[in-house]
């Protein structure tokens, strides 16, 4: 099972949109896919039309109570090969519980490991902060995708994310790789977006994914319908771009060593 954490310490960069639509695209390609909503806001859960407060068990219960196995929390989405581990506001209280637990950075990894043979991909939607939950996601992940809005301020924020990932790799997860930086919310034809993309590709090279996600009204409307863009409007430009991203993700990952992190 490839476990991909979708993370950025900055909100509003298309992180949840990417988690929802990448997982849907992978499932529609025939891969057995698990989406873990690890953000207390529960937006990935809502993105599939699932009401967080109506769930008997969520990823919160799985994390804080070892007697609650993952399968009790899993919810079937409207895509046959895509299961969701939902979240709700209770997850914000998991931090306090984790602080008192042994090997607190490895809890999620331990909960997921026994299910590796049942899934081809696990996508984790992280919260936009360096919390214990995010550390758990990065510890459990085999790789990371970093969505980044095409703004100048995002470049500085990305350097901080890279430094953080280097520390995580050194201290907790030496096998953690960066699958790529995903440019999101791009506005077609603007000088700003073109300049930022050129700077990113000059600085980070092949680490910047070829796929670029552009602003698209249908992408913005899909969560309100409780669907991914793949079922909401499969012919939209947003759906086509996320299918392209899924194809790119399925190729052999690039990977960064600890030495690579140090020199970024």
Per residue in 52-94, pLDDT (tens digit) is 889 999 999 999 999 999 999 999 999 999 999 999 999 989 9
pLDDT tens-digit readout, 28-46: 999 999 999 999 999 999 9
Residue 245 and residue 213 in contact, taking contact as beta carbons nearer than 8 Å: yes
Query: How far apart, in Å, are the Cα atoms of 9 and each of 83, 98, 130?
Result: 26, 20, 7
For residue 37, give its domain range.
2-262
Q: Which residues pair with 186 in a beta bridge?
A: 214
> What percent of the chain is predicted at pLDDT more than 90?
73
pTM: 0.92
Q: What is the DSSP string of 138-194?
A: HHH-SEEEEEEESSHHHHHHHHHHHHHHHHHHHHT-TT-EEEEEEEEEE-TT-HHHH
pLDDT for 137 beyond 50: yes
Read off the CATH number of the domain in which 82 is found. Answer: 3.40.50.300
For residue 209, pLDDT over 60 is answered with yes
Count of domains for the chain: 1
Residue with structure tokens 């919260």? 127
- Could you give the CA distance from residue 173 to residue 207 in angstroms, rounded to a whole number? 20
Nearest to 227 by CA among 24, 58, 11: 24
For residues 72 and 263, the model is more confident at 72
Q: What is the pLDDT of residue 257?
A: 42
C-alpha triplet 134, 139, 144: angle, nearest 5°: 75
Task: Indicate the pLDDT class of residue 254, thresholds 50, 70 and 90.
Answer: very low
């Amino acid at each position: 099972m490839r476990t991909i954490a979708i993370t950025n310490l900055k909100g509003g960069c298309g992180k949840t949109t990417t988690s929802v639509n990448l997982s849907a695209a992978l499932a529609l390609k025939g891969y057995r896919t698990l989406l873990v909503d690890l953000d207390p806001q529960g937006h990935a859960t809502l993105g599939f039309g699932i009401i967080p407060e109506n769930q008997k068990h969520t990823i919160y219960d799985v994390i804080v109570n070892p007697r609650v196995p993952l399968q009790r929390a899993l919810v079937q989405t409207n895509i046959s090969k895509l299961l969701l581990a939902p979240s709700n506001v209770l997850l914000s209280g998991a931090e306090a519980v984790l602080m008192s637990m042994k090997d607190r950075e490895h809890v999620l990894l331990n909960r997921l490991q026994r299910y590796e043979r049942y899934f081809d991909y696990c996508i984790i939607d992280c919260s936009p902060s360096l919390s214990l939950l995010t550390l758990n996601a990065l510890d459990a992940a085999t790789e990371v995708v970093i969505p980044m809005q095409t703004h100048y301020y995002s470049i500085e924020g990305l350097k901080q994310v890279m430094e953080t990932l280097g520390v995580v790799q050194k201290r907790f997860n030496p096998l953690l790789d960066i699958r790529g930086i995903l440019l999101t919310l791009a506005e077609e034809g603007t000088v700003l977006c073109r300049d930022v993309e050129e700077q990113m590709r000059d600085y980070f090279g092949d680490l910047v994914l070829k796929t670029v996600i552009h602003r698209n009204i249908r992408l913005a409307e899909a969560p309100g319908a409780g669907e991914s863009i793949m079922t909401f409007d499969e012919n939209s430009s947003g759906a086509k771009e996320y299918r392209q991203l899924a194809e790119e993700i399925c190729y052999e990952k690039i990977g960064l060593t600890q030495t690579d992190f140090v020199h970024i």
